[in-house]
Amino acid sequence: MKKFQPQPGFVVQAYRFALDPNAAQEQALRSHCGAARAAYNWAVGWVSASWWQRRAEESYGLAGPELTEWRPWSLPALRKAFNQVKRTDPRFADWWEENSKEAYNTGLANAAAAFDNYAKSKRGQRKGGRVGMPRRKSKHKARLACRFTTGTIRVEPDRRHVTLPRLGTIRTHESTRKLERRIAGGSARILCATVRFERGRWFVSFQVEVERAERTPARPDVAVGVDLGVKCLAVLADGQGEIHHVPNPAHYDTALKALKRLSRRVSHRQGPDRRTGQTPSKRWLQANAERNRVHHQVANLRTDALHKITTAISAEYGTVVVEDLNVAGMLRNRRLARKIADAGFGEIRRQLTYKTGWNGGQVQVADRWFPSSKTCCGCGAVKAKLPLHARTFCCDECGLVMDRDANAACNLAALAAASTTGTGVAGDRGAKAPKPRGADQKTRVTLPSRMAGAGRAGGATLPRQRQAEARDRHQDTATLTLR
């Protein structure tokens, strides 16, 4: 599939609407999503079969041209091979005509992308964690989704229905006026549509090429530093000295008591068991649906809150500075994992990235090793250590005392003005910290220029003097002990 390149002045964005399908339409939606999963499993098995065959032949002593040829995993190759077997393969012969060809193309495209990611990860050409070999999708665990790129895809003028290939016209749960009026005015064009079942209902997402007017933030010359946290979801500090605290709604913690009560109710009733073939009781299905309803409500509230925060930030400031947080590593902390996941750090950065571009601003990402919390925003001194429980920053050099998160946000805001220069601290943009024998990056203690100058004038820096005094005190204590 050729990647779409938007024209100048156009952006590609998504419009998502909830659907209210009837029984027949819901059955057709599930059939299309099942067809996509079946095509994906066929592609994974078809490509992997040649790999296992070659491995078996190598164990027999065969080599070179005697081995079975590799089967390609590109989308055109998979589509050609699938079209040759879909009429004769007993897994598809009886029902493949019931669904749109886009359903099978969805599964084949996902398989091609999975094999491509696996090959790039094995060659070291892909960032992130190592990607394993693609595996078959389970009927009970796979997400229901199907993508349509050709055929009749439109939003009806009544703003209450959408039309999709082979599925026909489906009623929407909400009005589609935001998209329909753009299409009617000629400022939007639908590229493709994706139907997905999540949070207990069906959704359709339209990928649309939209013409957006040029916008400018309310304060285009002001940079803001955004420090994310658990107690306060975000602390904003701009270059003019204003500091704003955004409280954490903590939607999951608010609903935790109700979720525990509903989970106990579910566990006390007869649930499904695939090992014994036990089917769930009606009372279990009712209790599970009630519990899922609370989970869906929490997810919707979180999504709404994050969109409101990021929209307000991108519409006001011209430059937004955020941290490059290791969210995956932070989630390994069992004491904070639940609160970090509830805050949605990664989603905030993702939304800020594209919303600032829409509004004419820019996003700067501070280096992951930039010590924003350990650096004094008043004099620039850097602490060697700052435990997590210390919520107030106290500078040992200038005596500054302020909130830890506010100090970090001020340092991030100042980083935007000094993006071309560095303070010499490990992790600064452009700074080169020594790494003897592959040592980890750690914060190096630095002092303000006046302190450093005074230390050089005396022949030694202030930290070395303190280390010498500590050694002298230790020796005096040892002498007294021996006496």
Residues pairing with 273 in the sheet: 278
Catalytic pick among 102, 180, 316, 405? 405
- Write the burial class of residue 280 (CB in 10 Å: 0-12 exposed, 13-18 middle, 19+ buried): middle
Residue type, 318: G
User: Residues 39, 108: contact at Cβ < 8 Å?
Assistant: yes
Q: Which of 334, 432, 104, 378 is nearest to 241 (CA)?
A: 378
Instruction: Please tell me the distance from the alpha carbon of residue 225 to that of residue 242, in angstroms, as a whole number.
Output: 11
Cα 135 versus chain centre, distance: 22
Decide if 168 contacts 25 (C-beta within 8 A).
yes
Assigned token pair, 32:
């299309």
405 belongs to the catalytic site: yes
Positive or negative, the CA dihedral 215, 220, 226, 232 is negative
Count of other CB atoms within 10 angstroms of residue 205: 16
Single out the residue of 81, 83, 84 nearest to residue 69, CA to CA. Answer: 81
Q: Residue count of the chain, please give it.
A: 483
Q: Which of 102, 227, 316, 428 is catalytic?
A: 227
Measured between alpha carbons, how far is 8 from 86 in angstroms, rounded to an integer? 42
From 102, 180, 238, 323, active-site residue: 323
The CA–CA distances, whole Å, from 306 to 208, 344, 410 equal 22, 8, 22
Q: Please say if 238 is a catalytic residue.
A: no
Residue 103: HSE in the Cβ half-sphere, 13 Å Cα cutoff: 24
Neighbours of 412 (CB within 10 A): 26
Which residue has 């969210």 as its token pair? 327
Q: What is the dihedral of CA 47, 52, 54, 59, to 10 degrees?
A: 180
**Closest residue by Cα to residue 264 from 243, 241, 297, 288:** 288
Q: Which tokens go with 271?
A: 């649930």
- In angstroms, the CA 417 to CA 429 distance is 12
| Cβ neighbours, 10 Å, residue 53 | 14
Active site residues: 227, 323, 405
